[in-house]
Structures are given as C-alpha cells and as structure tokens.
Structure 1
Amino acid sequence: MKRLTLFAVTLAILLPLASHAAPTAEVLEVRKIWSEGAHNAFTDLIRWDGRWWCTFRESEAHVGGDGAIRILVSADGAKWKSVARLTEKGIDLRDPKLTVMPSGKLMLNCGGSVYEGRTLRGKQSRVMFSDDGRTWTAPQRVLTEGEWLWRVTWHDGVAYGAAYSAKTASSAPSGPEWSLSIYRSTDGVSWELLKKMEVTGRPNETTLGFEPNGEMLALVRCEGDDRMGRIGRALPPYQKWAWQTSNYRFGGQNAVRLPSGEWLVGTRDYTLAKPGSTAGWRTILARLENDGRLATLATFPSEGDTSYPGMVWHDSVLWVSYYSSHEGKSAIYLARVKIVER
C-alpha cells in the first residue's frame, strides 16, 4: 500500500511537469522574399485582412542615408508583391512596425533619423495610418525630439510602447546612461507617459507583450554594462517592475505568446561574434524560461548583419520574417516553424 501511495504521489507530480515540458521547433521552410534594395533590413510581419503583410527598411547601408519603408503583401506567403514605398525627404525612416488598431486600420510606427554622412544628428518617432495597406498618411512626428518609440503593442484597445532616449549615438558599453519610458495611447498620435523605467545598462530597443491577466512583459536590449538583455514584468497599473538579466545579449528582439502560455523570442545571437565586426552573428528562435534565460530552439539560415524578426502565430505554425546577409547583400527572408509541445 505504501508503494502504491508513493507511486501515485510521484505520478501526480510528474504529470503536470510533463504537460509543461519545453517545446521543440522544426523549421519547415525558409524562403527569400525580397532583395531589390541595396540594403534590406529591420522587418516586421502581421496577418491582416486575410493576407500577410511584411515591412522593412531599404537604404544604401545599415546606417546613414535616407531610408525608405517598403511594404509587401502576400496571400499565401510564397508570392509577394510590393504595394507601398514610404519616404520622407532628408529623413532616414527605419525599424518599421505594423499593428492593427481597434478600428481595424493599419498603423505603422518607425524612427526618423537625420544623418550627416554616417553621423547621427537627430531622431524622432513617426506614425502613419492606412485603410488598405497601400495608401498611407504622411509621416507624423510623435513624442519629442530624441525619443524613439521602437515597437507598439495593443492591449484591450490601448497602444503601449517603450521609447528610449540616448544622450549619444555611440553604442559603446561605457558612457552616459540612456533612458527608457513606457507610453500609452488610444489613437497612436497622442501619447501619455505611463512609467519611467528604472533599468540601467543603456536600455534601448524594447518589445512589450501581455499575459491574459494583464501582466506586461518587457524584453529590453542593453548596450551598457554586460550588454545582456533585461526581462521585466509588471501587473497593472505597471508601476512596480521585477527585473531579470538574460543569458543572451539581445538585438532586434521580438516575442510571441503561444496558446500554451509559452513565450518564444526571436533575436540576434552574438555567441559566435567576432570583435569589431558582424561576423558570427545569427538569428535564433528561443524559449523564454521563467528565470529570464533563453533556451535556443532553432537557428535560422543567417550570418553577419541579421535579425529583427517579425513573428506571427497562425494556424498552429509560427511565421517569422527576418533579414540576413549570409547570401551576400542583406535580404528579407520568411520562415515557417512548427512548434511541438512535448
């Protein structure tokens, strides 16, 4: 009887653990969908109006020049058509992000930088809107000069985004601290300060996500201290944050929540990076562990200048857009990934 009781208790413990076992990832397909620009980079991906929409920046190089925002559309993810190319005279438009507003309209937010050669002289966030994905309003400035609203996430009819401000354009790990603040908006134009984040290490690019109970998740890229990514969590009203340091340095990171409750993260992997160059950079897909660490599930075909994935969970398949220069000049790629819960 004691043995039977012990077995029952052990089984009761193991069954919940098994049901929450880490997922595995199988990359089903990767295809190049665009390489027309001299430098194609910084992607985002959404599914809207029964179609796939992919956006990214086109310019002469990773930094500098007057970057343009390209938008592609596809019915099946295989054949893509360019439907818009957005520009602003004298401005480098970069890091475009697409979201669907509560009204059903599309919103695009991006950064607008001013360069003198390859030296950054100024920057301010922009937003644009569209009813059909093809015709867009003119770029409209939001927030203040120097603030970069990097990614927007809608939750319960409200847009949330983290904006960072750098006192210097240098990405060296030492130097003046950078600031990070969370804003919210109901129309994408007027933004209200929600919280000045108490995170150090020169925080910058930040992706926000939400749990069903309203808890906010923040994945923060850092360029100071040890350069490791920071993971923050806070319950409404998002004033008290708990922080963890990841085991990975982030770059262009994005995240998607699976129906199981797991969070998957796409980011640049610097593990094999060569000092002073982009050699060894990769784009990976990883599982976010409870302690803030990332457990790599897959490495996409990628090398050098790469990352900035768009991520969409659709019909039990993860769709990922990203850019990479492993085949020469940087190009835009689309991957389909099967996630298996073990």
Structure 2
Amino acid sequence: MKYTWTWALLALFTFITTVPIIGQKIVPAQRIWDKAPHCAFTDLLYYKNAFYCCFRESNRHVPNRWADNGKIRVLKSKDGKEWQPFALVELPGVDLRDPKISVTPDNKLMLTMGGSIYIMDKLKGGRTHIAFYNKEQNAFSKPVPIELPAEIATGMDWLWKVTWHKKDAYGLMYQAEKGTGKRIVLLVSSKDGIHYNLVSRIPITQNFPNEGAIQFDKKGNMKIIVRCEDNKAGGFYGESSYPYTEWKGYDVGKRLGGPNILITPDGRTLVATRAFDSKGTYTALMELDSNYKLQEVCRFPSGGDCSYPGLVYQNGKLYISYYSGHEKGNAIYFAQIDYDQLFPNP
C-alpha cells in the first residue's frame, strides 16, 4: 500500500486513517490502485457493510486503437484500507468510461457507463450503457445501451450519473440539441435503469453544460450540480421539487470538473470536484453557501489530470475516491475524514 501525505511530518507515521483538519487545507489520501497506465474517473458506494469503488482502466485517456479501449474495474473493501478486485467489465470494440455505481430498488448493483466508439482517437459515436451484478455468476452482465424515446434520442446522448429515489432512477443527460446543435442537459427517469423518459430540460444559461450529478434532500427535493465549459461563468447548481419540472438555477462561481454532490444528514450541500487555481488543477471538497456559491473546505493530494470523485457519508465520516496524475502515472486514491472535524459543532 502506498500513501500520499501533504507535509513531511506526516511521513513519520506508517498509517493514518484520519487527521484533525481544522486549519489544514490538504487531507491525506491512500493510493489504492495503479495497475494500468491510465486509471481514472471514479465513483464510490457503501453497500452491505462494504465500499465499492469503480473506475476506468486503459492505456491512455483517449484511445487511438482498440487495445486502448477502456474497461471498468470495481474494487471492494470492508474497511476502506484493504482493497480487492471485485469485477472487471469490458465490451469489445467499445471504450467504456466514466462509470457510476448505484443500487436498484430490488437490491442489485448497477453500473452506468459511457460506451464510446473511437477511430484513431476521433470520437465517432457513443451511448450510455448499463450492467447489473449477478450474484450467481459473480459478475456483471454484458453492458447494454440505454433506451430513449425517438423524440429525444440523438445518437450521442450521455447519461452521466444515475441516482435512485424511491422506485425511480433519475439522471442528467447531456447532448447536442436537435436542430441547433446547442449543448443542453435533460433530466430523465427510468423504472428499470434501462428505459428512460424525459422529465424536464434544465434551464442552464452557461455555455456547454455537460457532466452532472443529482441528490435528494429529506423532503424529496432534487438538487443538482453541473459542469459548464464557460470561461465567463462557473458551474450550475439547481433545485426542484417533485415532479421536477420547474427549476431554480444559480452560477456557483467556480469552474468545475467531474463534479459530485452530497446532501449530509445535517443539511449541508457538499460538492467534490476538480478545482482550479493559478498553479493548475487539484481535487477539492466544497460547500454551497447561503448565496449559492461554492466555498472550498479542503483539498486532496492531486494535480494535473485529476478529480472525478466518488463521495459517501457513512457513520460520521466522509469518504472520497478520486484519480490523479500528480505521482507517477494516473492512479486511484481514497480519503476519509471525520465529519465533526471538518464541520465542528458550534
């Protein structure tokens, strides 16, 4: 096992799971996987007393030959310290990437992942794919593409991350609008995780919206965070109540990359994301303030090609998975933080 520490003083310790972070900016992280040249794009789930971390493995970020096509690796850990391979998902001729993991209402593990077709590093097509874990076979099913109504399907539709609420799966899907080519984000829902229908169009005014994540508060209100490639504006935060057709939207004031969102038991809205400063990029945890602006809470050892975090709250701790290229090669990292140390009770 390898560990990344922020200060030389921490190198004196052989193992640290959490450290007091009041007054600190950087939280230690554990390097949990580096068995492929390019490991990236994580998600994290706590299910039946174990952590599941999924990510893409490949030779490179963008394929230029079939051998470079991504596979989806899933790791499992009972304690967040020792990690073991759990599953490997691949589809011949298809670059699988940006996996997300969830649990269906009938208690099955489900993977959502992009399925892209590249020819000599040029993207020629792509559809989101789904796979379900089969206990008897001890493996995930062969990935199959999601199904969309003809009126919204374009052939290049990316359902980024699925969140189950009650008996429905909800996700933010980005695409180029028919007729205009403008990048838009749609809220879609499904009963089975495969067949999706339109719920509403997200009223995003920033340019080039894309990757987005969903969470629900205790009252069933939906809260979303969306990356926008707009040099003059930040990412998008939105709120809606059932049936999720009317929206309030805000510019969060910061540029995002691969953002994830979490509503904590005490009502805080946290966002883990790629962040940017004068020195470059890094992975950070932020909190949405009362003015709907993101404020940095802490950051993790990272740099360059990085972020795409998974985010879990469990038993008074926050757990974060992410990838980074700040050490040799792109690797997968895991950090845990005592919630009360992050947000002390007044």
TM-score in terms of structure 2 length: 0.85
1:111-131 alpha-carbon deviations (Å, 9 max, x no partner): 001111221111100000014
Structure 1 residue 106 corresponds to structure 2 residue 109: yes
The residue aligned with 2:84 is 81
Name the aligned partner's letter for residue 215 of structure 2: G
Q: In 1, Cα distance between the equivalents of 2:187 and 2:157?
A: 11
Name the aligned partner's letter for residue 245 of structure 1: D
Structure 1 residue 122 corresponds to structure 2 residue 125: yes
Structure 1 residue 141 corresponds to structure 2 residue 145: yes
The residue aligned with 1:13 is none
The residue aligned with 1:152 is 162
The residue aligned with 1:322 is 322
Name the aligned partner's letter for residue 163 of structure 1: M
Name the aligned partner's letter for residue 86 of structure 2: V
From the superposition, tell whether residues 61 and 296 of structure 1 become closer, same or farther in structure 2 (CA, over 3 Å).
Answer: same
- The counterpart of 2:202, out of the listed 197, 200, 224, is 197
Kept in 1, the 8 Å contact 2:187–2:200? The answer is yes
Structure 1 residue 247 corresponds to structure 2 residue 253: yes
Structure 1 residue 46 corresponds to structure 2 residue 45: yes
Q: In 2, Cα distance between the equivalents of 1:25 and 1:89?
A: 49
Contiguous gaps of at least 5 residues in structure 1:
1-22, 168-174, 274-279
Structure 1 residue 97 corresponds to structure 2 residue 127: no
Q: In 2, Cα distance between the equivalents of 1:57 and 1:98?
A: 12
Deviation at 1:96, TM superposition (A): 0.4
1:157-182 alpha-carbon deviations (Å, 9 max, x no partner): 21100100147xxxxxxx95202111
1:75-122 alpha-carbon deviations (Å, 9 max, x no partner): 111111112111111111000000011111011101001111221111
Q: In 2, Cα distance between the equivalents of 1:232 and 1:33?
A: 33
Kept in 1, the 8 Å contact 2:112–2:131? The answer is yes
Structure 1 residue 230 corresponds to structure 2 residue 236: yes
The residue aligned with 2:217 is 211
Q: In 1, Cα distance between the equivalents of 2:197 and 2:23?
A: 39
Kept in 2, the 8 Å contact 1:112–1:124? The answer is yes
The residue aligned with 1:312 is 312
1:169-200 alpha-carbon deviations (Å, 9 max, x no partner): xxxxxx95202111111110111111122223
Q: In 2, Cα distance between the equivalents of 1:334 and 1:191?
A: 32
Name the aligned partner's letter for residue 39 of structure 1: H
Kept in 1, the 8 Å contact 2:27–2:300? The answer is no
Q: Kindly name which structure, 1 or 2, has the bigger radius of gyration based on alpha carbons.
A: 1
SS at match of 1:147: strand
From the superposition, tell whether residues 134 and 38 of structure 1 become closer, same or farther in structure 2 (CA, over 3 Å).
Answer: farther
Kept in 2, the 8 Å contact 1:25–1:297? The answer is no
SS at match of 1:270: strand
- CA RMSD in angstroms comes to 2.0
SS at match of 1:199: coil
Kept in 1, the 8 Å contact 2:97–2:113? The answer is yes
1:139-172 alpha-carbon deviations (Å, 9 max, x no partner): 11013421000001111121100100147xxxxx
The residue aligned with 1:186 is 191
Structure 1 residue 286 corresponds to structure 2 residue 283: no
Contiguous gaps of at least 5 residues in structure 2:
1-20
1:46-67 alpha-carbon deviations (Å, 9 max, x no partner): 0112211110001111222310
Q: In 2, Cα distance between the equivalents of 1:322 and 1:215?
A: 27
Deviation at 1:227, TM superposition (A): 4.8
The residue aligned with 2:267 is 261
From the superposition, tell whether residues 102 and 296 of structure 1 become closer, same or farther in structure 2 (CA, over 3 Å).
Answer: same
From the superposition, tell whether residues 84 and 182 of structure 1 become closer, same or farther in structure 2 (CA, over 3 Å).
Answer: same
From the superposition, tell whether residues 90 and 258 of structure 1 become closer, same or farther in structure 2 (CA, over 3 Å).
Answer: same
Kept in 2, the 8 Å contact 1:71–1:82? The answer is yes
Deviation at 1:337, TM superposition (A): 1.2
From the superposition, tell whether residues 25 and 294 of structure 1 become closer, same or farther in structure 2 (CA, over 3 Å).
Answer: farther
The residue aligned with 2:175 is 165
Kept in 1, the 8 Å contact 2:27–2:299? The answer is no
Name the aligned partner's letter for residue 249 of structure 1: R
Q: In 1, Cα distance between the equivalents of 2:42 and 2:303?
A: 16
The residue aligned with 1:177 is 182
Kept in 1, the 8 Å contact 2:224–2:261? The answer is no
TM-score in terms of structure 1 length: 0.85
The residue aligned with 2:56 is 57
Higher mean Cα deviation, 224-233 or 238-247? 224-233
- Give runs of aligned pairs for residues 8-27 of structure 1, distance below 5 A: none
Name the aligned partner's letter for residue 102 of structure 2: T
From the superposition, tell whether residues 225 and 305 of structure 1 become closer, same or farther in structure 2 (CA, over 3 Å).
Answer: closer
